[in-house]
Structure formats: C-alpha cells, structure tokens
Chains A and B, each alone.
Chain A
C-alpha cells in the first residue's frame, strides 16, 4: 500500500546541507501498526511528512495505493490528503475559535459536504470518542486528552486509510496518553494503517512493527 524507495530529503541550513533522509526504503501493508522510533533529528518527522504528502522528497519514488504520489500536482496531492490520510499532531492544532464539533467538522466542510450529512457524521464521531458533552466547548475549555481526542476525531472523520500520528502523546500526561493510544489502536483494529512517531520505547513495543531511525537512515 505504501511503497518508498530511495527517498532522499536534504535541507539547506545556512551553508550546510543536512540530510534528513538518506536512501530510505520502506513498504507498509494495509492495516499495519508501525512505530517509528529514534533520537530527535533522526528524520522521523520528515519521513512522516513525506508519507503524508506534506513534504516532497528530493529523490526517490513514493507510491500510495499504486499511484506514484511524487508525480502528482499540488492540488492532486491535496485531494489525496483529504481522502486517504489523517494527521494527528503533538500539539493538536485545533482551530482555537472553533468549537470541538466545528473542529471535527472542518475536513467535511473543506470537502464541500452537505450540512445535514456533516452534522450526523460529527454527532457519531463525538459519541464514538466520548466527547458528547463537549461538542460546544472551545479547545481552551478542554483538557489535553480531550483535545487530542477531538484531533483524532477530526483526522478520522473522512474515513482515511492511513492515520499518521507525530508524537500523539508527547504533550499529555500518562493517563490521557494511554487513553489516546488505545483509541488509535482501536482504529488500527478496524483496518486503518497506523504509523506513529514516538520517543517512548514502551509505546514502540505495542506496535506490530518497530522502525528505528538514525541519521536519516532506517537501521
């Protein structure tokens, strides 16, 4: 489903060329649960961004569902992100002026879905993520765990095949972190491919496959 070959990503920092990714090869099957581990600066997030089509590799081939994603135009990539990929971020990235339900609704709105359909989907998601009583609350009125649950609901509302999580528990206490991991794992059990970047070896062990990265290479 996900096929990466010979991926290189170089950032220019001042005079120095930093190789964030060097000759990365990776294949992921539908429904896998992968933990990407490694020290900071090892290229974990860059790898995730490239899989999520937020960043383009300087060299190499990336195929998603037999479509060569690296050949797509910006707008086509946006469409792929919209329908196939869900992002969960360390800092949640909720829109502060929108309520929990409006944040969850946002991808549906951007996709131009009818309001009635949107409402029923958002209601279902609020229920499924235990946020029923929090629909009207703005992000600053929610706890960290609740915020991340809103973010996960938003990431999955379009029913993507892949969920990419960048340190989803990095900003949460242990209890709500565990809560969030369980939610993500439940999604994975339903067949969603889950790729998670984490520092935490304990979380890494829960995954069906661990990838360790050092200096932009998968070791």
Chain B
C-alpha cells in the first residue's frame, strides 16, 4: 500500500468520526500549547534578568571589601574586613593593561534640599568614569568632570526622580542644592533609566568620590566597579585586581571580585532549571493527552471491528492494518500539535502586546520538543490499539454486524 494511500485512508477515517477526532485534537492542542506557552514564559523571565544584568555595563567586575567564598549569587553587602578598600587601592588598579576603566563608589544617605523642599536620598560618590562603566546617559547638562579623583568638587548630578521631586518643572543645572551640611551645584540630570542591581538610578545624587568621603567622614569605599578592556580580559583583570590588592594589603586577599559573568551564569542556570521544571509539568498534560489518544483509538478499533475484518478478508496483512491505525493516531497528534501551536502563538502574541517590556518569545527547542513529543505520544499510545486491531480474528470480526 502506498504511503499517500495510507494517509488518505487515515484522513478519511478521522473525518468520518468527528466527535472523537475533535476530542483528540483538543487534548493534544492543550498539551502542546501549555508546553510552548510555559517554556516561553520561563525563557522570557530568563531573558529579562539577563537583559537587566547586561544593562549594568559591559565586561564589568565588581570589587567588594571582605572575603567571600561564594561564587555568584548575592555579593556580601556588609563584609567584615580588617582593612577597608580605599581610594588609593582603586587608583592603583588603573595601571594594568587589562583594565580599561575603574569607578570607585562610596554610598551613603543624606538629606538633599532645594529651597523649601527636602528629601532623603542615596548619595553615590564616584568619578567621571562611572558614566562609561555603568552605561549611564544624561537627560540634561553633563556628568561629573574628569580630574584628580582625590580632590572633590562641590558639584553633583541628580537622578531623574530626584529632579522631578525637588525641581518639578524647573531646570536644575546651575542651581545649588544642600546635601547634608554642604552645598553642591547641580551640573546635570541623568536620563530616565530602569533599575539595575536593585538600585534605582533615578533616585540618587552623584557627587565626586572625595566629596562623598568627606561628607560621610570615611576613607573606605563601598565597592569598586572595574571595566575590563575586553571580554577575554575579564579573568586576567580579576587576577590583576587580586594581586594588586594583596600587595597593598600586606599579602592578605581580603576582597571579593564578582564578575558579571558569574552572576549572570548563576541566574541563567536558575532560570533554565525553572523553565525545564515548568516544561516538565506541562509535559504531564501531554502525556494525559497521550492516554486520551489511546482511549479514543481503542474505541475506534472496536467501532471499526468489522472494517478491520473486511480489510483482512481483502488480503491486508497485519503490518498494513497496524500502519493504518498508527498513521491515524500520528496524524491526529500532529494536527493537534499544529492546533496547539496556533493557540500558543496567539496567546504569546497577546501577552507580548499587553507586556511590551517583558521579552517573551518562543524558544525554538520548545517548538521542536512539543511537536516531537506529540508525535511520539501519538505513536506510542497508538501502538497498543493498532496492535489490537492487527490481531483481531477476522472471522469473529466479520460475524458482527
């Protein structure tokens, strides 16, 4: 029997029994659609986190005071350390070829006031290089001027939200604000940008690092952001940082260097695991669909007992009868999978329109897996009914009316 004839026969057989065909298509469609949609959501979440981390800046290393054995995950915010990380430590890093830029950071919180308005704001002390390292962009004015980092100036750059709350519609550049007990001239406003690493860059005021150290009366740094000269240079840069700091800290390696890659790959692993878990749960619905297919095909076999007997009387060998029934269940599974994909694409298109910020897309492997698994379910769960059909006794089958 020719393959096209087998397919034609199976199509006629499935269109001959509408209800059962529709039921089977529905079950398969639900299974496939849920696999594709859930994996897409998982994949979207992973992509979302990855994007957020990338927006921190390229080839970024973060130097934290204190020793930590953990790799990736949350950096220890309060490292207990005998020696503080100082501005001189940071400047010493600048001499390596594998390091392009460094941005020392001091963090504190202080009241910021302009005229009658006052607000408690996070103050970042840093240098002009923070602009490049963190991929910032300006809404108005300019960023901190380049110059000797050890000498602070009385200038500041304010975040978008701070500008909005203190100055509302007026233009801040040129105005003087009071931060703590000192006065700073506003020279720029950061452009609107999302959160990164839990810090809302709209809600900060950036001042020169030396001014911040004076303001908070400290000589230590919160962390040092280091930009490696290239992606390949990241491991080398990390080694250089550890060497330099060890040398400066009397042979003690009392800092932690977190690479963006390490953080990223950790999150990547977590979300990949999550996606797979969700896909596994969805796969259960596929196997439920498989059981339904088996059930429906068994009913089909008993419904068509006399037909099978007739096919045998007409000289169809067992193999042929088996392939007829297998072709039918495989075809129905594929048709159901196609239907499920249409549903999945529609749902994801709708979701993408409702949440344009969320990078949801269907991973190719999920598509392939959904179609492959549905075909496999069709064949596996179709095999038992097909075997039963092939083994029917023709005399008994024909004796039924």
Contacts and interface: CB of A to CB of B under 8 A. Distances in A.
B277 to A, nearest CB: 44
Contacts of A81: 312-315
A96 B306 CA distance: 11
B314 A106 contact: yes
A98 B12 contact: yes
A30 to B, nearest CB: 20
Interface stretch (A86-94, A120-128, A179-187): A86-94
B120 interface: no
B395 to A, nearest CB: 5
B317 A83 contact: no
A75 B306 contact: no
A109 B306 CA distance: 18
Interface stretch (B1-9, B182-190, B326-334): B1-9
Contacts of B74: none
Contact of A109 (B1, B318, B401): B1
B5 A75 contact: no
Contacts, number: 70
B395 A91 contact: no
A55 interface: yes
A13 interface: no
B301 to A, nearest CB: 15
Interface string A42-66: 0000000100101100000000000
A112 B398 contact: no
B307 A87 contact: no
B318 A110 contact: no
Interface residues of A, number: 29
A112 B314 CA distance: 13
B12 A82 contact: no
A54 B16 contact: no
B15 to A, nearest CB: 8
A74 B312 CA distance: 10
Contact of B12 (A85, A91, A97): A97
Contact of A75 (B9, B12, B318): B318
B317 A78 contact: yes
A38 interface: no
A110 B398 contact: no
Contacts of A79: 315, 317
B315 A89 contact: no
A87 B395 contact: no
B318 A112 contact: no
A97 B312 contact: no
A110 B320 contact: yes
Interface string A97-114: 110000000110111100
Interface string A20-55: 000000000000000000000000000001001011
Given A109-B9, A112-B2, A78 B312 contact: yes
19 contacts: A54-B395, A55-B394, A55-B395, A78-B312, A78-B318, A79-B317, A81-B313, A81-B315, A89-B398, A93-B306, A93-B309, A93-B313, A97-B12, A98-B12, A109-B2, A109-B5, A112-B1, A112-B5, A154-B314
Given A87-B314, A97-B13, 5 more contacts: A75-B319, A93-B307, A95-B310, A98-B12, A158-B315
Interface of A: 49, 52, 54-55, 74-75, 78-83, 85, 87, 89, 91, 93, 95-98, 106-107, 109-112, 154, 158
